[in-house]
Structure formats: C-alpha cells, structure tokens
Amino acid sequence: MRCPYCGSFDTQVKDSRPAEDSACIRRRRVCPTCGGRFTTFERVQLREVIVVKKSGKRAPFDRDKLTRSVEIALRKRPVEPERVERMISGIVRQLESLGELEVESQRIGELVIEGLRSLDAVAYVRFASVYRDFREARDFNAIIDELESGGEFAEDADD
C-alpha cells in the first residue's frame, strides 16, 4: 500500500480488525520512511466482474462508481448511511454470486432501481428518470402512479 504522505510502497500494517459494517477490514498502517500513519479499508472481492455497457464496451465493475450514483439519487434525502451501505453491499454480493464473469450494465441499473425503491421513493424516481431517460412529464407521472399502486414500472409503457 502506498503511503499518502511520501509515496513509499514500504508501509507496515500495525493493526487489523473488521470495520463497523463487517463487510471490510480496517487496517492501521505506518510508513517507516516518513513515519506517517494512515488507515485503509479493504474489501473481500469474491470474483472480478466485468460490466458490458450498451455500446458493447467492457470495463471492470467499480463499486465506488455505483456508490456515487446512489449518493446522487439520495442527495438531501433522510436515509441512514448504514442502510445505503447495506443496499450497495447487497447489490455487489448479487453481482458476484451470479456466477457470470460479465454482467450487462442494464442488470446493474435494475438492481439499483429495486434497491432504491425500497429505500426511498424520491431517490427511486430520481434514479429512474436518468436511467430510463425520461423525456416528458408523463414519464414521471407513470412511474409515480406505479409507485403509488405498488406495481412494477413498465419500462416501455409508451411503446
């Protein structure tokens, strides 16, 4: 692990313990070169997942990108960070346990929508509006009607 202060790769672990969410390991490190102390959080990765985008381009799955997308949808919403972290960890576990090396980005988007639906209705509508590329006010009305009725949102309701 590279030292954030001097850039040295020769850092030493002084303490390791499970983090509060038990999904990662918290490590206290020290750099013998500069004496700097810092903490890292390491997650167990069951398998490398490759995301296949609509364009056909392939990229490694990035948990941080998923987290940023969810946080944007949840901006200024009263949702506890622990619930958000549980939802994200659940999505990652589902992707890793699919048994497939490649997952379409559409599948990831659907998992996020399902998670947000149970977490916060406003965040669900926000994410869906971008993910499903809403173009008119009636697109919002359709998803809100579906939310209120408890049914699933029909992706191609207008087609």
pLDDT tens by residue, 102-137: 999 999 999 999 999 889 989 988 898 887 777 787
Residue 99: left if φ>0, alpha if ψ -120 to 50, beta else—which one? left
**Separation CA 19–CA 123 (nearest Å):** 27
Higher-confidence position of 36 and 139: 36
pLDDT level of residue 76 (50, 70, 90 thresholds): very high
Question: What amino acid occupies position 33?
Answer: T
The confidence score (pLDDT) of residue 143 equals 81
**Separation CA 138–CA 141 (nearest Å):** 5
Q: At what angle do helices 63-73 and 81-97 cross, to 10 degrees?
A: 140
37-43 vs 12-18, strand pairing mode: unpaired
**In the numeric block, which tokens belong to residue 23?**
């999904």
First-to-last C-alpha distance (Å) of the chain: 52
User: Is the pLDDT assigned to residue 23 strictly greater than 80?
Assistant: no
What's the Cα-to-Cα distance from 58 to each of 88, 98, 104, rounded to whole Å? 21, 17, 9
**In the numeric block, which tokens belong to residue 16?**
């390791």
- Per the prediction, the chain carries an average pLDDT of 84
